[in-house]
Amino acid sequence: MSTVITQDEINAVFPTVSATMADALGCDVEDIKPNVSLIEGLDAESIDFLDMVFRLERAFKIKIPRGKIVENARGTLTEAEFEQKGIVTDVGMAQLKSYLSEVPADRFKTPMKVADIPRLFTPETFCKLVVQAQRDAKAAA
Amino acid sequence: MSGHFSAFSFVDRITAFEPGVRARGAFAIPAPIAHFPACLVAEAVGQLAAWTAMAHIEFRGRPVAALASETRFSRDVKPGQVLDLSVEIDDCDDAAVAYHGEASVAGVRVIELRDCLGPMLPVADFDEPVAMAARLALLRAEGAPPGRFHGVPTLRVVRTSTAEPGVAEGTLQVPAQAAFFADHFPRRPVFPATLLLDAQLTLAQAMLAESGHGSAGALLAPTRMMRVKVRSFTAPGTALQLRAALRPDNSQGETLMVDLTASADDKPVATARAEFSARVQA
């Protein structure tokens, strides 16, 4: 199986993801655009991320490791390779841009604090999480 | 430590315990207190879940704040009654605990919590981990002495005028000092979200009465609370702005839905939706 998550896979889960997010954030589903920033565009906070992950797990009957989205973004890099003193390294930034390919390039600020990475997250980021979790569940079955 | 494990602790004894799986326990509502609001029954269920979750992760973290998809209030409770508590943990790790549970009195369910979620934060930021572990051991053995809880101070919402029909607004001044802060929590006093929710329900109930809802003068009571989301901690002395707004799409029939919001300095603190209807009195 390809490791690249396709647009078709994202499109397949997006309707449920967007409805789930709208419910969690108390907004209209029409506000959930694939590439809107959840924090800056939809006023999501850390509790909302937890809420959304919880709801998505139930909606899709999957397991998403909570609080580990940034770890997933780090990929195969070690923590020291990915960040130094809370700032994403150059190689870390390249990995981050690759993982969050749906995020427009101008939203990656330099230097970027690790704590600010969630500001990049979009509904499409969560679609990819869901697809990956579905793949993991399938592989484990 | 004055008030620790007494001023805002609602589990007297744990009778069945599987860390990270399930638990049963009890709390005797002290007879001398004047009132024990339904939100504190929910607090008791949540505290039992917290013990189960904390034990599962060996007291590295504790659940704080909360999300609760649905809380069903079936009956009021009275001082002198004994709450039988039970929780089932749906998921638990160092990041969060998901659970559901209920409380009953003499075999009759009085409250049910569904799809609750509490993010875990370091225990040591709020309390003494060693003391917490020792307390759990006590609760699982002979239990804590009953009658420790002496009630909470009456928290009044000072109404502010609004021209909007079906809307009530007001200010809840969180006390700078109160006995419950010694228990919630010793190292970081936080205004209990369940007391905030109780104040919000009281405001909504007043708004409905003033709006002429309810039949033959009967006071409508909260029967469900949904989508409870506590977004931030409230420190002692905070002035909270509360708002209760009747939902326009549900203002017909015997059941009324009200949106509840609380904010501080224009930042949201908590949101919820409440259902009001005629409810059985114990």
Any residues with CB less than 8 A from the CB of B232 and at least 6 apart, and which?
B65, B264, B267, B268, B269
Tell me the per-residue pLDDT of A5-64, one tens digit each, with 9 for 90 and over.
Answer: 899 999 999 999 999 999 999 889 999 999 999 999 998 988 899 899 989 999 999 988
Cβ–Cβ < 8 Å for B75, B110? yes
CB contact under 8 A, B96 and A26: no
Tell me the per-residue pLDDT of A81-140, one tens digit each, with 9 for 90 and over.
Answer: 999 999 999 999 999 998 888 898 889 989 999 989 989 999 999 999 999 899 988 888
Tell me the per-residue pLDDT of B99-132, one tens digit each, with 9 for 90 and over.
Answer: 999 999 999 999 999 999 999 999 999 999 999 9
A window 2-31, beta carbon within 8 A of B: 26
CB contact under 8 A, B229 and A54: no
- Extract the runs of DSSP E, i.e. beta strands, from B38-163: 61-63, 67-73, 82-92, 96-105, 108-122, 157-160
ipTM score: 0.76
Residue B191's pLDDT is 97
CB contact under 8 A, B96 and A50: yes
CB contact under 8 A, A50 and B93: no
Mean pLDDT of B266-270: 93
CB contact under 8 A, A66 and B95: yes
Element (H, E) at B44: helix B38-56
Q: What is the pTM of this model?
A: 0.89
pLDDT surpassing 60 at residue B152? yes
Sign of torsion over alpha carbons A81, A82, A84, A88: positive
Residue A2's pLDDT is 53
DSSP bridge partners of B171:
B158, B241
Top-confidence residue, A66 or B187: B187
Residue B282's pLDDT is 47
CB under 8 Å, gap of 24 or more: what pairs does B248-252 form?
Answer: B248/B166, B251/B166
A window 91-130, beta carbon within 8 A of B: none
Top-confidence residue, B154 or B103: B103
User: How remote is the C-alpha of A53 from its chain's centroid?
Assistant: 10
B24 close contact with A: CB closer than 8 A = no
pLDDT bin (cut points 50, 70, 90) of residue A69 is: confident
pLDDT surpassing 50 at residue B3? yes
DSSP 8-state secondary structure symbol assigned to residue A57: H
Tell me the per-residue pLDDT of B176-227, one tens digit each, with 9 for 90 and over.
Answer: 999 999 999 999 999 999 999 999 999 999 999 888 776 655 678 999 999 9
B230 close contact with A: CB closer than 8 A = yes
